[in-house]
A and B are shown apart, each in its own frame.
Chain A
Amino acid sequence: MEMLLRARDLTKRYGTFVALNNVSFDVTKGEVVAVVGPNGAGKTTLVNTLAGLHVPDAGDVLFEGRSVVTLPPAARARRGLARSFQLVSVYPSFTVSEMVAVGAFSRRGRTFNMLRPASWFEPERSEIASVVEAFGLSHRLDTLCSALSQGEKKLADIASAMTLRPRLILLDEPTSGIASSDKHRIMERLLAATESLGVESLVLVEHDMELIARYATRVIGLRAGEIVADLPPSQFFGDPDVIESIVGKVPGHAHG
């Protein structure tokens, strides 16, 4: 299988605190990798390091076989390594189509085009329409992001990364802040949309074990910045000891 993303011996320290310690793994085409672990295990640090927000103290990040560890987030995004955020992050003053347009222009190197209204670019317009449609938000194209429901905001947020035509997307808690009754619906919509738009692999940080069991093809367990398990979900959830050692059974550790 083709390797898309490789983390090699990633180490990230904050002062004396080691957030990531020699973390290595590969993500190949077709995988849905869930990263789990207690709070402070380094999940978000891992996503941020892969996406380019943090420069690791040691180690390398390879995307499509090439090192991207020195590239800023924008350059990684334009290469097809996208991400979403744990907290809903939409532009309140933008319509959905305006927000989704940002990546469509940056991918084509048109961010600095000043002399033509954004809405006059035809290939971008039809691309925006098809991305928004894949997320079931066509009726919201001209709605201000601030007026969307929580679930729609989540979807619009992820949709905005899809005009980058990413091969891999890092999703930091895609269903956080969403009522549990809605989580499956959002997750299914998200997976179907990303697949139809050509995303080949997903890496998601998630707390909801039920979602992971159902949608992930692989589970990576992090604890204190180290990988302590890297298993298919059937084995991961088949072994109570593994779950307990990683997620913990102490109340309040499994969520939050």
Chain B
Amino acid sequence: MKNILLIGLFVATVLCSPFVVSPYYATLVITMFGYSIALMGLNLLFGYGGLLSLGHAMFMAIGAYTVGVLGSKMGINSFEVHLLAAASVSGLIAAVLGALCARYTTIYFSMLTLAFGMIFHSFLFKFYNLTGGETGISVARPSLFGHAFSEISKTRFLTGPFYWYSLVLFLVLFALMALIVKSPFGQALRAARDNPQKTEFLGVPVLRVRYVAFVVSAVYCAIGGAILAVSIGAADPELAFWTQSGNIVFILVLGGLGQLFGPLVGSATFALLQDFLMANTQYWRFAFGALLAIIIVVAPRGVVGLLARGFGGRR
């Protein structure tokens, strides 16, 4: 029941927004898609795997910079190539870092990922030629399925073709994640979170399960980052700064940790709230801080949990 209502609301919103709301809000929805995809990855690792990463902004930035470098520096405009490259580069880097990180849990895992995130952030400044240093690199409009859409304005491109492209990408990745969390792998990951020792004795190689979740989460974050880069029009080091890693954890907890709809609801709530608060008060960070405290205390399952309670749902 809860799911049907949520899905109905979601479908109505995303189908209507390009026609009804201003271009500004339509771009906001793209941002929401980007964050949702990244958060799905983080949710797999943190929500279902119990591993709190404080460095996943790195993988979002890898996605964003891949689009920037390929488009602006190498003249490759195909967004499909961008996505494939972003996913591969991020997955490869995660495969290397994960070999170390996935051996740790709790605060040690968090600190390791934080450390690698900081190292990556400083790399962005160091390799100025590739990354543009402090200013970052601009992200040119990519082509979608070979169409450059050069006849329409940037805004029309974003609120038109790119909007639908991102929506489809979001839906595909959402369906895939829904499958992953219900699959034997998803169950093993949750089992490893709840009781790693027992899980190991049930024949599950716990470290390898965590490792795979780490890599998958990095791929999702990179794809989310790639979408954000196009909608922002730039990839800058802020995206990789450690506060951004904390930010995405915040959005996920806001939406609902370990809930399938948590990433979507979290990023929608965040995008709308941030927009509203920033327009109305300079103390928006204060409001967010207070909101997080309230969520943790009264709604540990986030906005998804609140909605479920409101609809009288079971969970």
With contact pairs A91-B191, A110-B184 given, residues A115 and B200 touching in the complex (Cβ less than 8 Å): no
A118 an interface residue at 8 Å Cβ cutoff?
yes
Nearest residue (CB) in B for A89 is: B198
Cα(A133)–Cα(B191), bound, Å: 22
Cα(A161)–Cα(B204), bound, Å: 12
A41 to chain B, nearest CB (A): 22
- Candidate in A74, A78, A83, A93 with the most chain B CB atoms within 10 angstroms: A74
| CB contact between A115 and one of B183, B194, B203, B204 (< 8 Å): that residue | B183
The 8 A CB mask of B152-170 against A (1 = contact, 0 = none) is 0000000000000000000
The 8 A CB mask of A96-107 against B (1 = contact, 0 = none) is 001101110111
Residues of B181-203 whose CB lies within 8 A of A: 182-188, 190-191, 194-195, 197-203
Cα(A82)–Cα(B183), bound, Å: 24
Note all chain A residues with C-beta closer than 8 A to B185: 111-114
Note all chain B residues with C-beta closer than 8 A to A92: 194
Cα(A113)–Cα(B205), bound, Å: 13
B206 an interface residue at 8 Å Cβ cutoff?
yes
Q: Is the CB of B198 within 8 A of A111?
A: no
Interface size of A in residues (CB-CB distance below 8 Å)? 40
Cα(A115)–Cα(B183), bound, Å: 6
Once A and B bind, how many residue pairs between them come within 8 Å at the CB atom? 106
A102 to chain B, nearest CB (A): 5
Note all chain B residues with C-beta closer than 8 A to A160: 198, 202
Cα(A105)–Cα(B205), bound, Å: 12
B278 an interface residue at 8 Å Cβ cutoff?
no
Cα(A106)–Cα(B202), bound, Å: 7
Q: Is the CB of B184 within 8 A of A111?
A: yes
Nearest residue (CB) in A for B208 is: A112
Interface size of B in residues (CB-CB distance below 8 Å)? 26
B181 to chain A, nearest CB (A): 9
The 8 A CB mask of B170-185 against A (1 = contact, 0 = none) is 0000000001101111
Q: Is the CB of B198 within 8 A of A164?
A: no
Cα(A121)–Cα(B182), bound, Å: 12
| CB contact between A74 and one of B180, B183, B205 (< 8 Å): that residue | B205
| CB contact between B201 and one of A77, A116, A121 (< 8 Å): that residue | A77
Note all chain A residues with C-beta closer than 8 A to B201: 51, 73-74, 77, 82-83, 161
List chain A positions with a Cβ less than 8 A from chain B: 51, 53, 72-75, 77-78, 82-83, 85, 89-94, 98-99, 101-103, 105-107, 110-119, 121, 157, 160-161, 164
- What are 16 inter-chain pairs, A to B, with CB distance below 8 A? A89-B197, A91-B195, A94-B187, A101-B187, A102-B187, A103-B202, A106-B188, A111-B209, A112-B184, A112-B208, A114-B180, A116-B183, A117-B179, A118-B186, A118-B187, A160-B202
